[in-house]
Structure 1
Amino acid sequence: MLTSLAVILLLGMFLGGIFDKLRLPSLVGMIIAGIIVGPHGLNLLSKPLIDVSGDLRQFALIIILTRAGLSLDVEDLLKAGRPAVLLCFLPACAEILGVVVLAPPIFGISVVEAAIMGAVIAAVSPAVVVPRMLKLLEEGYGKEHRIPQMILAGSSMDDIFVIVMFTAFISLEVSGSVSASSFAQIPISIGTGIAIGILVGIIINRFYSELKLRNTVELIVMLCVSFLLLELEHVASKVVPISALLAIMSMGMVINRKNPNLASKLANKYNKIWVGADVMLFVLVGATVDMKYVMASGGLACILVVGALLFRMVGVLLCLVKTKVRKNERAFCMLAYTPKATVQAAIGAIPLSMGLPCGQVVLTVAVVSILLTAPFGAFIIDKTYKKLLTRT
């Protein structure tokens, strides 16, 4: 496994660096590195590493969301108001609707299968969006109308909403029926996740204030607590739904609110860890790609992904109706809400593993959505934010 880790990090950083020199998103090079060394390429990765790749991707997601929480100001988030709330679910609903409309005639699948596919590709990638929104906050772009804060909050909750919808649609396909309680889990998981995150954040802040630990020790404690929150979500799932990802993000927000200096120090530590986690995440995403299936139906998948994105952009635009956000800022929000990667890599293969007839085409569309939108979204955000947003 150690050899495989070395291959992932070295080749990922090498190809990522090449793409960066070419002024292209480095994550494209990392994804290509994963395709090369993955099971469907040269097969240089050990089976034990492949088996735990889901956990490693989740580790990267923890770092992303904690960094977001430590950098988000609660007052700014509350002042963002209605648009931030709508961004949590309306664009995803619009994209799922787009796939339900477009996928049946394109791939000959049922409406429920199209809904499953839509739920897979409808999630925004925090791995692409969050680091860039944090950069905007640091540089002062879009602060007047809280554009980075809205996108940070919306993209984080968007993933949770989509995953619950995916579970409900899978249940409908397998059993032929879905209960109202499946959809009721969405607001419950969001509420419990935020509440637990706030409580844990208060406890940790008090704990740090009393003991005066080293920054590195504080970082280790935060990571361990995040892991325990994920386990809590799994253990409590039969009793009450809990969004551990929202809890992790809320925990960081509370620390930022109670102790900004501590939040800044922890954020710097997380930034250093992210250097390696970034490479690990996208190389492992690339390792899931089977290019044979992508080449077989990639053209139709591209048409579907682009069409679904147009529906999503309309959804983002609706979220900003009757707000003070300017036209150029609305255009930026529509573009910034396009990249996909993490959730698609995590759940794209589930229908196939369950033996559903739509499994292979869902996986293919998920892979194509990553390859198209992750580099496009990263590139377009990096190239347009200075032109479309105002610096304050």
Structure 2
Amino acid sequence: MLSGGALGALVLGMVAAALWRRGWPRHAALGLGPAPHFSDDLEAAIAEIWDWVAEPIIFGTIGASINFSALPAGVAARAALIVLTGLAVRVIATFLTMYGQEGRAGDHPYSFRSRLFFAVAWTPKATVQAVLSGTPLHLVKILKSGAPDYDQWLQWGHEIQTTGVICILICATLGTLLVQVFGPKLLDEAPKAEEERECLTALAAKADSDALL
């Protein structure tokens, strides 16, 4: 049910954007005519609401739900180990995935430093954890209430939620710090406009000379 709701929200957004570009609905009182940029404008407005209202509420709520002083011994350490293991696998997988991929049109494949930055830039991920980490505990309270093993399920739900919060603390803070520190060191400065024009002129001249041969 939860997955179906999320999938429905994604499909609804894609269908609405496609219909707006085509001018649907065509009813005079409801339609705006073809509006190719309407979905982009709406996305920008929703992004502002997300950044200033929804996101602080989500992260604040999930953070306030954990009392680290009341956690059983070893739960936080196990959660951190799980997060760091998954993070290491994701960094390695991202680095290997970008191997041999083409950059911008006409560029060579990404350099070692660029691939390393891609791997680092994928570290600060926390929104999904903030939204979903409390779902198992919520379902346990609904579906397992009164069951003989309710306390065990409740403990597992708390541990999953704790893992999600620790994932936020590690990925969001550490990831953002890594991007800020290593970004200027790993990424090459974009060429200036004049240099780009000179490069394009040289490439065009070479192409013309090759065509004459």
TM-score for both structures, normalised by structure 1: 0.34
Instruction: Establish whether residue 349 from structure 1 lines up as the match of residue 134 from structure 2.
Output: yes
State the superposition RMSD in angstroms: 3.9
Question: Whose Rg is larger?
Answer: 2
Q: Whole-Å Cα distance in 2 between the matches of residues 204 and 304 of structure 1?
A: 44
Residues 387 and 209 from structure 1, CA distance in 2 versus in 1: closer, same or farther, beyond 3 angstroms? farther
1:185-200 → structure 2 map (5 Å cutoff): 197-200=13-16
Q: Whole-Å Cα distance in 1 between the matches of residues 29 and 42 of structure 2?
A: 14
Query: Pick from 51, 58, 66: which aligns with 1:289?
Result: 66
Q: Whole-Å Cα distance in 1 between the matches of residues 72 and 169 of structure 2?
A: 12
Letter in 2 for 1:348: S
Residues 385 and 264 from structure 1, CA distance in 2 versus in 1: closer, same or farther, beyond 3 angstroms? farther
Instruction: Establish whether residue 381 from structure 1 lines up as the match of residue 179 from structure 2.
Output: yes
Q: Which has the higher contact order (CA 8 A, sep 6+)?
A: 1
Contact 1:294 1:367 in 2 (8 A): no
Match of 2:146 in 1: none
Residues 366 and 318 from structure 1, CA distance in 2 versus in 1: closer, same or farther, beyond 3 angstroms? same
Match of 2:104 in 1: none
The structural deviation recorded for 1:370 is 1.4
The structural deviation recorded for 1:210 is 8.9
Percent of aligned positions with the same letter in both sequences? 23
Instruction: Establish whether residue 358 from structure 1 lines up as the match of residue 156 from structure 2.
Output: yes
The structural deviation recorded for 1:310 is 1.0
Letter in 2 for 1:320: M
Query: Pick from 101, 120, 123: which aligns with 1:338?
Result: 123
Instruction: Establish whether residue 308 from structure 1 lines up as the match of residue 86 from structure 2.
Output: yes
Contact 1:288 1:345 in 2 (8 A): no
1:1-392 → structure 2 map (5 Å cutoff): 197-205=13-21, 206-207=23-24, 259-260=36-37, 262=38, 265-273=41-49, 274-294=51-71, 296-297=73-74, 298-323=76-101, 324-353=109-138, 354=140, 355=150, 356=153, 358-390=156-188, 391=190
Contact 1:285 1:341 in 2 (8 A): no
Structure 1 stretches lacking a partner, 5+ long: 1-162, 165-184, 219-254
Structure 2 stretches lacking a partner, 5+ long: 102-108, 141-149, 192-213
TM-score for both structures, normalised by structure 2: 0.57
Contact 2:120 2:178 in 1 (8 A): yes
Contact 1:352 1:363 in 2 (8 A): yes
